[in-house]
Amino acid sequence: MLTTTPNLTRPDESYAALIATHEGLSEAESHALNARLILILMNHIGDHAILTDAMRLARDPKGQG
Amino acid sequence: MTALVPERYAVAFRLYPYAKSPDQDAATPVRRKVVIVGGGPIGLATALDLGRRGVPVVLLDDHEGAGLGSRALCFAKRTLEICDRLGAAGPMLDKGVQWNVGKVFHDDRLLYDFNLLPEGGHAFPAFINLQQPWFEKFLHDAIVKAQAEGAPIELRGRNRVDAVTPAADHVTLDIMTPDGPYRLETDWLIACDGARSPVRGMLGLSFDGRVFEDNFLIADVKMKADFPTERWFWFEPYFKSGDSALLHKQPDDIWRIDFQLGWNIDRAKELEPANIRKRVDAMLGPGVEYELDWCSIYTFQCRRMEKFRHGRILFAGDSAHQVSPFGARGANSGIQDVDNLAWKLTLVLDGTAPESLLDSYDRERIHGADENILNSTRATDFITPKTPVSKLFRNAVLTLAEHLPFARTVVNSGRLSVPCTYDGSALNGPDHPDMPPRTRPGSPCPDAPVAGGWLLQALGRGFTLMTINAEAPEQVTAHGLTVPRLALATTPEIAARYLGEAPGAVYLIRPDQHVAARWDRYDEAAVAAALAKALGKE
């Protein structure tokens, strides 16, 4: 089951790290990095049902309740 | 005289030259039991399977043998097992090139290599590469041998079907020959006449699916190169000969090279030998000598007919379903159609099974076709991304694949053909929870070494009652069939593939070597009920 309740141990640090990861990259390079990041996180999660729940939620954030 | 049935393509092997049949002079149309249209791999295999089962078949083709050009190339283990049952696999194995290693490149980098690592204890390798004309020739050789042993198979070259008229209990065919037209009636018609199936067209039946907007150039080149016998696949190759490229070894020092050219191309220009050579030179590097053996540009579709059975007309192979070449699922799936159809039609013809058994051909092979279309569509979408974002993710996968094994599982240059399991088929009987999932009802039997040879060779032409550590009579008679028992010793392979956690096992195996039902002990009534189910009597 997809976790949608707050789950980040250090939200501000994680978000800042995400932005910093893109520093100095062109837009194309950033898009490529995002794609790699999504694939790495997908593999970490692994479970197909959770992944498709997350994809649906990303496509339609209002769809959640 | 040949002007009435002109050649549409050059023939590699002239196998069944035209000879006038007495049917052509008959005052009223002669009625045949089974007519097959199309002498490609699927038509020949159908004729061979039915003929060996004693069913009289007439095969019609508008040419006199195997068309030139390698076309179908990779033949999978299941195809070889089926051809072995048909007495044709030995020469295929001798002539074909066996391969196990594949390498995947992006630009100029080797991302990874893989080994098909075939599981031990199988008579046949995972794949062989063999040009289609040779595959057809070996099937034809087996037909000639079967004919000499009395199999009622008749092949009629230069017999072109010009009209098909279905009736309730037969089909009428108008046929053109070098001696002019004649008419034939047949109880059953099997259309194995390829992706552009004239029979399907004459019946006005639809063939829907997806067209892929891409062109692929095949260049079969003859060269004495010391490349290893491996499958090499490039995404966005550095030599710029295409958006993707494939190099694969065939017999006789021939190499299959495939270039993805994109959608808007000048076909005639790309097919000029000088332009093909430019691409091949860039790929092979300077100083490699080769000859162009056969070249072709193709586009492809993934589509199927809504139904494979239309009354007394059955469609098999590419006439019924078409896939992209990625995964070698074309001819291999067609051979599985034959495997599924021949025993069913035989039992319907001799009255053992009701005509409705043929509806299970439709359902089971549509299940197989859908699985093949799904796999082949996914491979195609990976190889030729359709949108910028799809290309972004594809290339992200390729970048990660060089360093991270998980990403290699997503790289898709074709998921290679494996036979499908007929899960949910109406012919399936009881399963047993302690036995391995890979041999559940509907599954093709995995091969295994047994005393004196191989399991699949020990299975009969009809149904078999296979027992492992279980008592059973030497044969079971029910529903008009006598099913012989095959008692197996518990070897490590048999235990792993068929026994699992169960102490003993009894399997009812169909004539196409798929599992019908399984139990942990013999029960006469249960076996008879499962046999009735597998015959479509329920």
Listed by start position, the domains of chain A span 24-63
Q: Name the 3-class secondary structure at B483.
A: strand
* Average pLDDT, integer, range B71-78: 92
* Average pLDDT, integer, range B77-106: 96
CB contact under 8 A, B396 and A43: no
B97 touches chain A (CB under 8 A): no
* Average pLDDT, integer, range B160-164: 98
**pLDDT confidence bin for B245, thresholds 50/70/90:** very high
CA distance B200 to B304: 11
The rounded percent of chain B whose pLDDT value lies above 70 is 100
Distance from CA of B338 to the nearest CA of A (A): 35
CB contact under 8 A, B400 and A40: yes
Residue B213 has pLDDT above 90, yes or no: no
Distance from CA of B402 to the nearest CA of A (A): 13
B397 touches chain A (CB under 8 A): yes
Q: Name the 3-class secondary structure at B65.
A: strand
CB contact under 8 A, B393 and A40: no
All residues of chain A having their beta carbon less than 8 Å from the beta carbon of residue B410 are: 39
Amino acid at B482: T
Residue in chain A nearest B393 by alpha carbon: A35
- What local confidence, expressed as pLDDT, does residue B409 receive? 94
Per the rule left: phi > 0, alpha: psi between -120 and 50, beta: everything else, B154 is beta
Identify the residue among B106, B389, B400 best suited for mutation to test binding to A, counting A beta carbons within 10 A and taking the highest. Answer: B400
Q: Which helix (H) or strand (E) holds B524?
A: helix B524-534
The token duo for B310 is 């239309």
Selection from B360, B369, B367 nearest residue B516 by Cα = B360
Q: Name the 3-class secondary structure at B300.
A: strand
Average pLDDT, chain B: 95
* Average pLDDT, integer, range B198-212: 94
All residues of chain A having their beta carbon less than 8 Å from the beta carbon of residue B404 are: 40
Closest partner residue to B399 (CB to CB) among A31, A36, A43 is A36
Phi, psi of B426 (to 5 degrees): -65, -15
**pLDDT confidence bin for B2, thresholds 50/70/90:** low
Selection from B498, B508, B502 nearest residue B529 by Cα = B508
For residue B22, count CB atoms less than 10 angstroms from its CB and return exposed for 0-12, middle for 13-18, buried for 19 or more: exposed
Where are any strands of DSSP class E within B157-312?
160-166, 171-177, 180-191, 208-222, 231-235, 244-250, 254-262, 291-304, 309-310
All residues of chain B having their beta carbon less than 8 Å from the beta carbon of residue A43 are: 406-407
Number of cross-chain residue pairs from A and B with Cβ atoms under 8 Å apart: 24
Identify the residue among B387, B392, B408, B409 best suited for mutation to test binding to A, counting A beta carbons within 10 A and taking the highest. Answer: B392
* Average pLDDT, integer, range B9-31: 96
Q: What is the 3-state secondary structure (H, E, C) of B8-42?
A: CCCEEEECCCCCCCHHHHCCCCEEEEEEEECCCHH
Provide the pairing of β-strand B180-191 with B208-222. Answer: unpaired
CA distance B3 to B62: 12
- What local confidence, expressed as pLDDT, does residue A64 receive? 60
CA distance B103 to B110: 7
* Average pLDDT, integer, range B322-339: 92
The rounded percent of chain B whose pLDDT value lies above 90 is 87
* Average pLDDT, integer, range B257-283: 93
- What local confidence, expressed as pLDDT, does residue B353 receive? 98
* Average pLDDT, integer, range B83-87: 98
Q: What is the DSSP string of B161-205?
A: EEEEEE-SS-EEEEEEETTEEEEEEEEEEEE---TT-HHHHHTT-
- What local confidence, expressed as pLDDT, does residue B15 receive? 97
CA distance B308 to B315: 5
**pLDDT confidence bin for B116, thresholds 50/70/90:** confident
What is the DSSP secondary structure assignment for residue B420, as one 8-state letter? P
B399 touches chain A (CB under 8 A): yes
* Average pLDDT, integer, range B278-289: 90
Distance from CA of B413 to the nearest CA of A (A): 18
B396 touches chain A (CB under 8 A): yes
User: What domains are defined for chain B?
Assistant: 2-92+127-207+304-357 (3.50.50.60), 208-302 (3.30.9.10), 437-534 (3.40.30.120)
Instruction: Give residue B337's Cα distance to chain centre.
Output: 7
Where are any strands of DSSP class E within B437-498?
449-450, 453-454, 464-468, 475-478, 481-488
User: Cβ(B474)–Cβ(B431) under 8 Å?
Assistant: no
- What local confidence, expressed as pLDDT, does residue A65 receive? 43
For residue A37, count CB atoms less than 10 angstroms from its CB and return exposed for 0-12, middle for 13-18, buried for 19 or more: middle
Amino acid at B61: D
Residue B443 has pLDDT above 60, yes or no: yes
CB contact under 8 A, A32 and B400: no
Residue B430 has pLDDT above 50, yes or no: yes
The token duo for A5 is 């309740």
For the segment B297-321, what is each residue's pLDDT rounded down to a tens digit?
Answer: 988 889 999 999 999 999 999 999 9
Closest partner residue to B392 (CB to CB) among A35, A40, A43 is A35
**pLDDT confidence bin for B71, thresholds 50/70/90:** confident
Residues of A with CB under 8 A from a CB of B: 31-32, 35-36, 38-40, 43
Helix axes B357-383, B331-349, angle to 10 degrees: 180
Amino acid at B102: G
